[in-house]
Structure 1
Amino acid sequence: MEFLETLLASDLLSDPAKAGLGGLLVGVAFGGCAQASRFCLRSASLEFWRGMLGPSFAVWLLVFGSALLFVQLLLWSETLPATEVRQLTSVGTLSGAIIGGALFGIGMILARGCASRLLVLSATGNLRALMTGLLVTVVAQAALSGILSPLRLDLSALWTVSPEIRNLNLHVPDVFGILLGGVLLAVAVLLASRSALGWPRALLSVALGGTIAGGWLFTASLAHVSFEPVSVLSVTFTGPSADTLMALITAPSVPLSFSLGLVPGVALGSCASSLVRREFRVEVFDQSTGMVRYVFGAVLMGFGGMLAGGCAVGAGVTGGSVLSLTAWLALLSMWLGAGASQWAMGDRGVAPTSGRVLS
């Protein structure tokens, strides 16, 4: 921590440039590990609701368990001050988490990939993922500050909670999060061994969880030494993707920040990983894949993600890792929404085995 703060205190770069570079590096690591490990909440939910806890579920649990363990260690050691984490110190919306999470889960099944997975696949040549992801981003921006924002605000205001209730760390023993993360990680390792996941993919999954902690550590360290206000946050995609797109099309210059460095970083990391692994392949919409379900799924994910306070990674893993009540509710609602969508569709999808979630 002290070494990182000393490095960040140098005058070689401006604070916004440091934030952007940090986001880029965390994004590259996330993108590379996510592509190689085939991390995807949709794939995990397909296996879970079919009653088969296979490799995709093991990967998801490895990522979540490791992120929870590493981030809770940062909170316990006060390397990451809980007072600087927005998800723990601001008013939360339970209605937004529940409704938005459910909509996101349904949309994830329809679009055959969550927001982070769409970004990862876009960089591997999947044009279906690219077009779907762009629509998710546009709808998210409309929900943030456009025509859909009044509806989002109304739904968010239905049921709110104070920061004292939202912060689950205040209601459990100090080491509860560390123990929970350790238990989940141990269970994930057991499932990984039973499903013949393979240790390279398992280690990449743990490293992917580590990037969540890395984002928290970097932004907290920068905030401690910066003379300018720096938001303490980590990996998330719904808001940053919308911010990045709007900055590119409306501003002559892009203001640097951790979030704006994150999105291109994930794309670079994923693209590099797919090229090294020889998995880069151009894929388009055709008669067999259709397009309508992707459109509906993208709309539900864009609005649901913004209403829930983040996507499957931003709310589900990053927010869940700091024990935010709204994040855990959003994640639970995503799983339930995905399961309901699967059931309503007669589970006509095929569990992915090739790692290409969009088929």
Structure 2
Amino acid sequence: MPTLPVLAGFAIGAVFGVVGLLSGFCLMSSLRDWWTRDDGRRIRSYALAVAVAILGTQVVAAAGLIDITKSLYLQPSFSAPLIFIGGILFGLGMMLSNGCASRAVVLLGKGNLRSLAVLTIIGVTAQMTLKGLLAPARLAILQWTQMTPAANSMPALLDRLGLNGGTARIAAALSVGGVLLVFALSHRELRRSPGQMLAGLAMGSLVVAGWLATGWLGADDFDPVPVASLTFISPVADTLQFIMLSTGMTLNFGIALVAGVLVGSLLTALLTGRFAFEGYTSAGHTGRSMAGAALMGIGGAMAYGCSVGQGLTGLSTLALPSFIAVAGILVGAALALRGFAARPVFAAQ
């Protein structure tokens, strides 16, 4: 594995950890604030991050600096039902665990021991779904429902409708990114929250930086690096495996990213006096969190990503499967928030 992409992954992760801890950047808390407290600042910040990620990624791709068609998100064949169901499971899980995988890494850096349990379960269940006991079922569903559509992204779809490649890319990026920008910046409370605005700009920019780290710095015909950016389900699983079996593995961008987030969050927590050990408060709290972690690991593996992996990085490619995955995550989050969360065993603690 080339050194530069690994170092870049660690640096990108460190910035993610700093920004994530200071701003509370998280899709779960953003949706909860928006749906239950009528506070739209953080969801608008998330939308701003997606807009920046889309526009920046499409610019560097159009410039020929990276080839996003080699990424996981733009495969010619995919299973919409598998991805959508995986998204639902992930959405349910992040609400039950009170945070997604990336948020768990950030919180672990500030001493939240619940996050250690959540990340361990995510890593184990993701590996089970990708390569272990649950893999045959996942592969069977994939083979049964897999399709090869004429277009696998919004630019490709517009190209099929008559726009040429460059025009289709611009039209797709501006339509989706523009709508998200308007949604974010039209909110007066967000404009009055410079910290949340900076968080959105930073997180979106980190997605672009991740693409450049693997697709440009990592471009090597003799030792190619998978073209990827910010995502946490598979990297958390790989990190757990690396900790246990490091002699049989090599560092990669994803492992370095997770390590960087942890270090960035830890240093920020120590410097700002936010570091404090925290644990579970009851058996119900423990069961709710662990069940959510298992759903995130399984669902994230099925959906090829998490609220960051699909919600930011996947959408930045304008891949149709990513829109399906995000729709599933939103449905799952809504079901958890309006259904399971009201039951005593799942009550927030």
- Give the alignment's TM-score, normalised by structure 1: 0.87
Match of 2:200 among 201, 205, 209: 205
Superposed, which structure 2 residues align to 1:305-344 within 5 Å?
Answer: 305-344=300-339
Deviation at 1:220, TM superposition (A): 1.1
SS of equivalent residue, structure 2 residue 288:
helix
Contact 1:95 1:157 in 2 (8 A): no
Q: Does 1:130 align with 2:116?
A: yes
The one-letter amino acid of 1:67's match is A
- Count residues in correspondence: 336
Match of 2:19 among 33, 40, 55: 33
Match of 1:57 among 12, 31, 43: 43
Deviates more, 1:89-98 or 1:20-29: 89-98
Q: CA 1:99–1:224 in 2, change beyond 3 Å: closer, same or farther?
A: same
The one-letter amino acid of 2:340's match is M
Contact 1:16 1:256 in 2 (8 A): no
The one-letter amino acid of 2:245's match is T
Corresponding residue for residue 291 of structure 2: 296
Contact 2:86 2:303 in 1 (8 A): yes
Superposed, which structure 2 residues align to 1:142-161 within 5 Å?
Answer: 142-161=128-147
Superposed, which structure 2 residues align to 1:1-359 within 5 Å?
Answer: 15-50=1-36, 52-162=38-148, 164-172=150-158, 173-179=168-174, 180-191=176-187, 193-195=188-190, 198-225=193-220, 227-252=222-247, 254-287=249-282, 290-345=285-340, 347=342
Contact 2:95 2:337 in 1 (8 A): yes
SS of equivalent residue, structure 2 residue 297:
helix
Distance 1:224 1:290 in 2: 45
Contact 1:94 1:156 in 2 (8 A): no
Deviation at 1:124, TM superposition (A): 1.0
The one-letter amino acid of 1:146's match is G
Corresponding residue for residue 354 of structure 1: none
RMSD between aligned residues:
2.2
Deviates more, 1:248-257 or 1:259-268: 248-257
Distance 1:39 1:250 in 2: 32
The one-letter amino acid of 2:290's match is V
- The superposition leaves residues 166-214 of structure 1 with CA deviations (integer Å, 9 ceiling, x where unpaired) of 22221132212331213312321222x3257521331122111100010
Contact 2:42 2:196 in 1 (8 A): no
SS of equivalent residue, structure 1 residue 251:
helix
Deviation at 1:343, TM superposition (A): 1.4
The one-letter amino acid of 1:18's match is L
Distance 1:163 1:245 in 2: 35
Distance 1:346 1:249 in 2: 35
Q: CA 1:288–1:295 in 2, change beyond 3 Å: closer, same or farther?
A: closer
Deviation at 1:29, TM superposition (A): 1.5
Corresponding residue for residue 163 of structure 2: none
- The superposition leaves residues 144-174 of structure 1 with CA deviations (integer Å, 9 ceiling, x where unpaired) of 1111111221232342232743222211322
- The superposition leaves residues 257-311 of structure 1 with CA deviations (integer Å, 9 ceiling, x where unpaired) of 1112111011111112223332222111123872110111111111000000011
Q: CA 1:135–1:288 in 2, change beyond 3 Å: closer, same or farther?
A: closer
The one-letter amino acid of 1:187's match is F
Mind listing any 5+ residue stretches in structure 2 that lack a counterpart? Answer: 159-167
Contact 1:76 1:175 in 2 (8 A): no
Deviates more, 1:267-276 or 1:314-323: 267-276
Deviation at 1:43, TM superposition (A): 1.1
Distance 2:299 2:138 in 1: 9
Deviates more, 1:222-231 or 1:102-111: 222-231
Q: CA 1:316–1:199 in 2, change beyond 3 Å: closer, same or farther?
A: same
Distance 2:153 2:191 in 1: 37
Distance 1:74 1:242 in 2: 29
- The superposition leaves residues 67-90 of structure 1 with CA deviations (integer Å, 9 ceiling, x where unpaired) of 112112222323222433332144
Q: CA 1:63–1:214 in 2, change beyond 3 Å: closer, same or farther?
A: same
Q: CA 1:277–1:177 in 2, change beyond 3 Å: closer, same or farther?
A: farther
The one-letter amino acid of 1:259's match is G
Contact 2:84 2:328 in 1 (8 A): yes
Matched-pair identity in %: 33
Structure with the higher helix share, 1 or 2: 2
Distance 2:343 2:53 in 1: 32
Deviation at 1:215, TM superposition (A): 0.3
Distance 1:213 1:169 in 2: 18
The one-letter amino acid of 2:216's match is S
Distance 2:120 2:39 in 1: 31
SS of equivalent residue, structure 2 residue 151:
helix
SS of equivalent residue, structure 2 residue 94:
helix
Q: CA 1:322–1:249 in 2, change beyond 3 Å: closer, same or farther?
A: same
Distance 1:32 1:51 in 2: 26
